[in-house]
Amino acid sequence: MEWIDLLATALGAIALNPLRLNRRWHHMIIASLPQTLAAACGLVLCCSSGVKGADEPSAVRSHSIAEFDGKDGMNWQVVNDGVMGGLSEGKLTPNPAGTMMFSGMLSLENNGGFSTFRSSDLKLDLSSDLGLRLRVKGDGRTYQVRLATDALFRGMEVSFAAEFATMKGEWIDVKVPFADFKGSFRGLDLPKERLDTSKVRRVSILIGDKKQAPFAVELDFIRTYGATAPKG
């Protein structure tokens, strides 16, 4: 860069004999000072972009739903397809590192084929957010995250579900937009139902991919993500 060469030469001349700096160099340094400072500032900003968090918005709307550290006040319950005569088995295993393992065996016998764990009753207004963000380490299978609101079908709770894929043995962050959630009731699609994110009453994780095999997914957190908050 020309400005770097000029600055280095000028500083070198000053260091060798500051009293003999001629007018030509004096004028060149003064004339180039604004461009030099601007370029230097640009270099600093460019380098700072490599610092962790430098390119992340400073004010992004987000809610923590579950951290799985035993301190978030969440109570979880496993529900298997045994309630409908199935033979699937699932269990939750807390990890001292602050994660939760959901594992078991999915069975398709007796018209079964699902295992889920769900939160206790919640009262969340997520209407300012765009979707859910989960950090998971899975087995390569596809899972569902489900939300319940005050929506009812024939007096029973409507479930709003969206799928997310996992990578075997690798931690990944997945984003699930609220727009992807579809309403259903015990396998019956309810296309007219719309998720009201201002009235979230329960969150669940479910596996029901019709594959009879062991499953395991470890969760670090469930949070929301959203647009950058307005200034002021």
Q: Report DSSP letters for 81-145, one per residue.
A: GGGGT---EEEEEEETTTEEEEEEEE--GGG---EEEEE----B--TT--EEEEEEEB-S-EEEE
pLDDT tens, residue by residue, 213-230: 999 999 999 999 997 655
Average pLDDT over residues 1-7: 44
132: buried, middle or exposed (CB in 10 Å: 19+, 13-18, 0-12)? Answer: buried
Q: Report DSSP letters for 200-213, one per residue.
A: B-EEEEEE--S--E
Asked if pLDDT for residue 21 goes beyond 90, the answer is no
Q: CATH number of 64-225: 2.60.120.10, 2.60.120.430, 3.40.630.30, 3.90.920.10? A: 2.60.120.430
| Token output for 52 | 């962790």
pLDDT of residue 43: 33
Name the average pLDDT for the chain.
Answer: 81
Say how far apart CA 126 and CA 62 lie, in whole Å.
9
pLDDT tens, residue by residue, 69-112: 988 889 999 999 998 899 999 999 999 999 999 999 999 999 99
Asked if pLDDT for residue 123 goes beyond 90, the answer is yes
pLDDT tens, residue by residue, 160-174: 999 999 999 999 999
Q: Which of 129, 127, 132, 193 is nearest to 160 (CA)?
A: 193
Residues recorded for the chain:
232
Say how far apart CA 23 and CA 61 lie, in whole Å.
57
- C-beta of residue 158 within 8 angstroms of C-beta of residue 191: no
pLDDT tens, residue by residue, 24-68: 544 544 454 445 434 433 433 333 333 323 334 434 568 999 999
Q: Domains of the chain: which residue ranges?
A: 2-48, 64-225
- C-beta of residue 141 within 8 angstroms of C-beta of residue 116: no
